[in-house]
Amino acid sequence: MMSRLILACGLVMGWTALSCATSGNETSGREAKAGVKPPATDSDQPADYPGLHNVVAFADGLYSGSVPEGRAGFESLAAMGIRTVISVDGAEPEVAAAKAHGLRYVHLPIGYHGMDRGRTLEIARAIKDLPGPAYLHCHHGKHRSAGALGAAAVTLGLRSPEEAAARMRVSGTAPNYTGLYQGVADATKASMNELAAADNAFPEVWKASGLVKTMVEIDEVFEHLRAIEKAGWTAPKDHPDLVPVAEAGRIADLLRHLQENDRVKARPVEFRRMLLSGSRLAESLEDGLGTTGAPPLELSARLKLINQSCLDCHARYRD
């Protein structure tokens, strides 16, 4: 009996801590000290800060936005009073940079199809247990982070599903991301016992593997190729180690090697055909950067075709 009373008291204190962590008074105190005002919970436009984009408040002390970009991004988070950063992106977070600014990182990636109840509860518990305010991010801060925070806010009883979906629209979550919206629509307020049973490992880095890891790497290579294109199809001055033809070859190889992935083999044949088509388009860009020496406009056209191929496949099979 005594142990049950202690557990009950602990859970009540946890809910009280959540209320304190997300209270306007605590946030206001940090604002006054740092001089940076986070967006309001009723703002109908995302906010931008140095190194942070698309920042939207889902509740007091709970924000969604883009990945912090370098030192400026973490400085902006610290100046906003953020204490916990939760990444739902597949890419490995910059844990050391966060710690240097007094921030705790938690890495709980989700897909564009949304997340199951277990992952929703993990994120909700991280928000409840760890110091607030909290900032959730994916890469651009428009889709996955908004969906994850929307579902977590409902799970914690801070928003209704309709209110959370409205905040997702402020973030710019496109209507065709049906899995993310459905995750919020299906979310319900968790009981204290349900939250207490959720995983509280709160990893700083979630080790992705297989299909997820490859997709993250492809996204990284695309960013490299866009920088190369911007530099006139040469190595950028701030990233001289990038070899244009090698980066195009990396995408071709990654898409081609996915054919051997067990999860990919279990997908429809058309999915595998689309991956192979993307690989061949990447090979064309590789040839243009290497043996054939295509002009810049032609190279840009080939990169656009690869990107469109990935978007078409993504739109059809992400859920």
- 46 and 175 share one domain: yes
Residues 6+ away with beta carbon under 8 Å from 246 = none
Arithmetic mean of pLDDT, 17-32: 38
Question: Does any domain span residue 203?
Answer: no
Quick one: pLDDT at residue 21? 41
- 87 and 136 share one domain: yes
Residue 2 has pLDDT above 60, yes or no: no
- 192 and 263 share one domain: no
Confidence grade of residue 8 (pLDDT, cut at 50, 70, 90): very low
pLDDT digits (tens, 9 = 90+) for 193-249: 999 999 999 999 987 667 777 887 888 888 899 999 999 999 999 888 888 988 888
Arithmetic mean of pLDDT, 98-102: 97
**In this structure, what DSSP letter does residue 142 have?**
S
- Smallest CA-to-CA distance from 186 within 141, 130, 121, 90 is with 121
**In this structure, what DSSP letter does residue 207 have?**
-
Q: Which two tokens stand for residue 272?
A: 């595998």
Least confident of 27-31, 147-151, 179-183: 27-31
Question: Does any domain span residue 205?
Answer: no
Identify whether 133 is preceded by a cis peptide bond (ω within 30 of 0): yes
Question: Does any domain span residue 226?
Answer: yes
Q: How many domains does the chain have?
A: 2
- 217 and 188 share one domain: no
47-49, strands of its sheet edge to edge: 47-49, 52-59, 62-65, 134-137, 84-87, 104-107
- 88 and 26 share one domain: yes
Largest CA distance in the chain: 78
| Helices 210-230, 244-257: crossing angle, 10 deg rounding | 160
- 215 and 141 share one domain: no
Q: Identify the domain containing residue 283 by its residue range.
A: 210-317
Whole-prediction pTM value? 0.64
- 87 and 108 share one domain: yes
- Smallest CA-to-CA distance from 67 within 125, 123, 144 is with 144
Confidence grade of residue 121 (pLDDT, cut at 50, 70, 90): very high
- 261 and 154 share one domain: no
Least confident of 51-55, 62-66, 139-143: 139-143
Question: Does any domain span residue 109?
Answer: yes
Residue 44 has pLDDT above 60, yes or no: yes
Residue 17 has pLDDT above 70, yes or no: no
Cβ proximity of 164 and 150 under 8 Å = yes
Left if phi > 0, otherwise alpha if psi is -120 to 50, otherwise beta: which for 91? beta
Residue 103 has pLDDT above 90, yes or no: yes
Last residue of a domain, one of 197, 226, 251: 197
- Rounded Cα gap, residues 231 and 227, in angstroms: 6
pLDDT digits (tens, 9 = 90+) for 253-281: 888 888 777 888 888 999 889 999 999 99
Residue 13 has pLDDT above 50, yes or no: no
